[in-house]
């Protein structure tokens, strides 16, 4: 059985993995070696990773990441102004003109084809940077130019269909995306005093709770009946519904029933990516929510499962193949992109978050 000391040591090692691989310019690489991710940083992955580092107490590393995002977004002030002007004029804005979901370490758009229009990362970063600043008593003015760009972009385009957390289904509006937008804009509205951000955050919440609920639980996208492993984020940390709300309780229960096997959480039942394995970061996300709901034993179960799936070097992969949903699909991804991403910094960041929730960070 994994001991408290071992769990704490893995937290220390997770911090070391993240900071060792942090780029000199501040970006957190998604994965330093995985073929499809190498050379890129995501706002979504990095926002959660920065939260873990901030909780660990490494203010400098988290600041460097937020500085990097702030510069990347401030540099796109003119682009966002142009996009917002088109939207205000009623014009259809081509998706390929939108801000991307990932950037190179020097802040450029990537040249490799990708499923780029994803708005959740901008909401996640807003939530992350505000939470970090409030935790450590920091002056948000150092990130204000980037924050204002993200707010303008989201308030203009929050309601458009886009790719989800998994770079899929851009024809839908995804409940986890709406939750990230709600969480980010609510945080920004609080610190900026922006009525526009608050109104958009409330509109995103109302839409999700009107068309994104089935049988009392939140759904993968509007009009769907299925759930997704990302849905617990609608409760904690993004606050689309409160921890004690019956919708939150039903959502966590449905995710656990449909996607949790022995502590490892799948993305969704139709997942064929690398055969549809169990994702460490989603196990941490569900555990985080269970901890906030008062189920510390359930949260500890997920933390232990994650710890038990570290490599011999203490690295956390993106997913593991213990319980594949579609095993016949695994080899095609191995042939295309090589072994599963290891380490995935987002996995390490989420481990730090859950370890902190359980009081294991020193």
Q: What is the pLDDT of residues 315-337, one digit of tens each?
A: 999 999 999 999 999 999 999 99
Q: Half-sphere exposure (CA, 13 Å, Cβ side) for 157?
A: 29
Mean pLDDT of 200-228: 98
Predicted TM-score (pTM) of the model is: 0.97
User: CATH number of the domain at 4-357, out of 1.50.10.10, 1.10.10.10, 3.30.420.40, 3.40.50.20?
Assistant: 1.50.10.10
pLDDT tops 60 at residue 147? yes
What is the pLDDT, as a whole number, of residue 207?
A: 98
Question: pLDDT above 90 covers what percent of the chain?
Answer: 96
* 257 exposure class (CB count in 10 Å sphere: 0-12, 13-18, 19+): exposed
Supply angle C-alpha 133, 61, 18, rounded to 5: 125
Active-site residue flag, 332:
no
Active-site residue flag, 318:
yes
pLDDT digits (tens, 9 = 90+) for 64-100: 999 999 999 999 999 999 999 999 999 999 999 999 9
Phi, psi values for residue 230, rounded to 5°: -80, -10
The answer to whether the beta carbons of residues 212 and 228 sit under 8 Å apart is no
| CB atoms near residue 116 (< 10 Å) | 18
Mean pLDDT of 290-309: 98
What is the pLDDT, as a whole number, of residue 202?
A: 98
Q: How far apart are the first and last CA of the chain?
A: 21
pLDDT tops 60 at residue 1? no
Which residue among 51, 152, 228, 318 is the active-site one?
318
Of 267, 335, 339, residue with least CA distance to 34? 339
Of 98, 109, 134, residue with least CA distance to 42? 109
Pair of tokens at residue 312:
């011999």
pLDDT tops 80 at residue 229? yes
Give the span between the Cα atoms of 258 and 323, in whole angstroms. 13
What is the pLDDT, as a whole number, of residue 310?
A: 97
Instruction: Report in angstroms the alpha-carbon separations of 179 from 49, 68, 232, 246.
Output: 18, 24, 10, 17
pLDDT digits (tens, 9 = 90+) for 241-271: 999 999 999 999 999 999 999 999 999 999 9
Mean pLDDT of 176-204: 97
Helix axis angle, 175-192 to 195-211, nearest 10°: 160
Residue with tokens 């995306």: 177
What is the pLDDT, as a whole number, of residue 199?
A: 98
**What is the Cα Rg of the chain in Å?**
19
Which residue among 67, 75, 159, 167 is the active-site one?
167
Active-site residue flag, 315:
no
pLDDT tops 80 at residue 352? yes
pLDDT digits (tens, 9 = 90+) for 32-51: 999 999 999 999 999 999 99
What is the pLDDT, as a whole number, of residue 362?
A: 72
Sheet strands (E) in the chain: 40-42, 102-104, 213-214, 217-218, 260-261, 264-266, 278-279, 319-320
What is the pLDDT, as a whole number, of residue 110?
A: 85
**What is the SS3 assignment for 227?**
coil
* DSSP letters for 139-150: -GGGGHHHHHHH
Instruction: Report in angstroms the alpha-carbon separations of 329 from 158, 275, 282, 344.
Output: 34, 5, 21, 21
- Average model confidence (pLDDT) for the chain? 97
Which residue among 164, 271, 356, 357 is the active-site one?
164
**What is the SS3 assignment for 102?**
strand
What is the pLDDT, as a whole number, of residue 142?
A: 97
């Amino acid at each position: 059985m994994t001991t408290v000391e071992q769990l704490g040591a893995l937290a220390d090692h997770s911090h070391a993995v993240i900071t060792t691989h942090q780029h000199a310019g501040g970006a957190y690489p998604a994965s330093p070696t995985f073929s499809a991710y190498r050379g890129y940083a995501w706002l979504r992955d990095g926002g959660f990773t920065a939260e873990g580092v901030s909780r660990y107490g490494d203010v400098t590393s988290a600041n460097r990441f937020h500085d990097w995002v702030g510069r990347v977004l401030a540099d796109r002030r003119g682009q966002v102004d142009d996009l917002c002007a088109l939207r205000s004029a009623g014009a259809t804005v081509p998706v390929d003109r939108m801000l991307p979901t990932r950037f190179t370490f020097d802040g450029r758009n990537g040249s490799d084809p990708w499923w780029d229009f994803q708005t959740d990362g901008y909401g996640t970063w807003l939530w992350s940077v505000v939470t970090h600043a409030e935790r450590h008593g920091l002056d948000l003015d150092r990130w204000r130019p980037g924050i204002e760009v993200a707010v303008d972009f989201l308030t203009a385009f929050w309601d458009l269909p886009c790719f989800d957390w998994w770079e899929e289904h851009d024809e839908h509006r995804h409940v986890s995306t709406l939750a990230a937008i709600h969480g980010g804009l609510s945080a920004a509205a609080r610190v900026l005093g922006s009525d526009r951000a608050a109104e958009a955050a409330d509109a995103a919440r109302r839409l999700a709770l009107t068309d994104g609920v089935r049988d009392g639980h939140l759904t993968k996208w509007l009009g769907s009946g299925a759930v997704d492993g990302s849905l617990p984020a609608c409760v904690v940390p993004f606050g689309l519904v409160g921890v004690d709300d019956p919708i939150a309780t039903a959502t966590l229960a449905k995710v656990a029933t449909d996607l949790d096997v022995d502590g490892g959480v799948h993305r969704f039942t139709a997942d064929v990516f690398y055969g549809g394995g169990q994702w460490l970061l989603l196990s941490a996300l569900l555990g985080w929510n269970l901890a906030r709901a008062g189920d510390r034993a359930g949260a500890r179960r997920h933390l232990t499962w994650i710890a038990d799936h570290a490599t011999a070097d203490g690295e956390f992969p993106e997913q593991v193949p213990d319980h594949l949903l579609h095993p016949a699909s695994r080899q095609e991804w191995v042939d295309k992109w090589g072994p599963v991403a290891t380490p995935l910094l987002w996995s390490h960041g989420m481990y730090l978050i859950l370890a902190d929730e359980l009081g294991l960070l020193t």
